[in-house]
Amino acid sequence: MGLEVRLKKRVNGFTLDVEWNMDNEIVVLFGYSGAGKSMTLQMVTGLMRPDEGYIASNGKIFFDSSKDIDLPPQGRPFGYVFQDLALFPHMTVKENIQYGANGMDRTERHKKTMEMIRAFHLDGLEDRLPREVSGGQKQRIAIARALIRRPDVLLLDEPFSALDNPLRLEMRGLLKEVRSEFNIPVVLVTHDITEALTMADRLIVYSGGKAVQTGTPEEIYLNPATDEVVRLVHTMPEYPEFLHSFGLSSKIS
C-alpha cells in the first residue's frame, strides 16, 4: 500500500476529519480552496501535527496518536512539492536539486544530482539561478529535488496553478512520465476539474474538511454523491464529447 491516513485536526473553527488509503497510483485530492487538501499534505509530511490520527506507508508507521509515534519530517520518506515550489533563489539549479540529498555522502549526492538533471532534461542549466530558467523548468527542478531520495510517495500541492494552459498540459504529461518511470505513488492536490479528471486513477473529493466521495473520475463524474460534488464536477462540458475526449465511457447511467 502506498499510503494510509486517518487524520483529525481542529484549527480556528475548521475541523479536518478524513480517512483514506492508496496503492501505487495517482490519487487526486480535489475540492474548493479551504476544504483541507493542503492541510492533509502538511500533516502527512510532518509539517503540521494532527490532533488525532494515523499515517503509514509500506508497513511503516510515521504517526500514531494512540502510541505517541510522531516522526519528524526528515524521518518520513515523502517527496513534497510546494505550491510555490520553494526553490532557493540564491542557489543554482544543481544546488537546488542537490539540497534534497542533504546527508548523503558527497560522491553519492553528486551522482544522484546528475542523474536527476539528466532524467528531467535540465542538462546545460546546472549553473543557472531559478530566475534564469522558465516556469516549466522550475517545475522540473522542484520535482527532481523531491524525488532525489527515491521517496515512498510523491506529494504535490497544486504545483501547476500558476502556469498558463499550454504549460499546464506539458506538466501533466511530465507527471505521468514521472509516475511511470519512477513507479511511485503520487498524491496531487488541485481544485482544477480538468486536472483532476484527466490525471487521477482515483479521485478523493474534499468538502468542508471531509472526504465526501471517492472513486474513479468516471464514477464521480457520472454519479456525484452530493449537491456540492455536482457543482464541482459539472463545470466541465457535458456528455458525450467530454467523456470521449478523455477516454471515459460514454455510457450514461
Q: Domain extents for the chain?
A: 91-150
β-sheet bridge partners, residue 124:
none
Residue 3 has phi, psi (to 5 degrees) of -165, 140
Q: Is the pLDDT of residue 44 over 90?
A: yes
Report the percentage of the chain scoring pLDDT > 90.
Answer: 67
Residue recorded with cell 480552496: 33
Q: Is the pLDDT of residue 68 over 60?
A: yes
β-sheet bridge partners, residue 30:
190, 205
Q: Is the pLDDT of residue 239 over 60?
A: no
Q: Of 46-50, 164-168, 241-245, which range is least confident?
A: 241-245
How far is 164 from 122, CA to CA, in rounded Å? 21
Q: What is the mean pLDDT of residues 142-151?
A: 95
pLDDT for 53 equals 97
Q: Is the pLDDT of residue 243 over 60?
A: no
Report the percentage of the chain scoring pLDDT > 70.
Answer: 92
Please provide the distance, in angstroms rounded to a whole number, between the alpha carbons at the two ends of the chain: 31
Interval 110-140: pLDDT, tens: 999 999 999 999 999 999 999 999 988 999 9
Interval 75-101: pLDDT, tens: 999 999 998 889 999 999 999 999 999
How far is 204 from 27, CA to CA, in rounded Å? 7
Closest to 36 (Cα-Cα) out of 173, 180, 204, 178: 204
CA atoms within 13 A on the CB side of 202: 15
The pTM of this model reads 0.90
Rounded to a whole number of angstroms, the CA Rg of the chain reads 19
Q: Is the pLDDT of residue 164 over 50?
A: yes
Arithmetic mean of pLDDT over the chain: 89
Instruction: Classify 85 as helix, strand or coil.
Output: coil
Vertex 163: Cα angle to 159 and 166 (nearest 5): 120
pLDDT for 235 equals 65
Contacts of residue 208, Cβ cutoff 8 Å, sequence gap at least 6: 35, 36
Please report, for residues 24, 185, 226, the alpha-carbon distance to residue 140 in angstroms, rounded to integers and kept in the order given. 22, 18, 37
Residue 145 banded pLDDT, cuts 50, 70, 90: very high
Contacts of residue 60, Cβ cutoff 8 Å, sequence gap at least 6: none
How far is 154 from 12, CA to CA, in rounded Å? 29
pLDDT for 107 equals 92
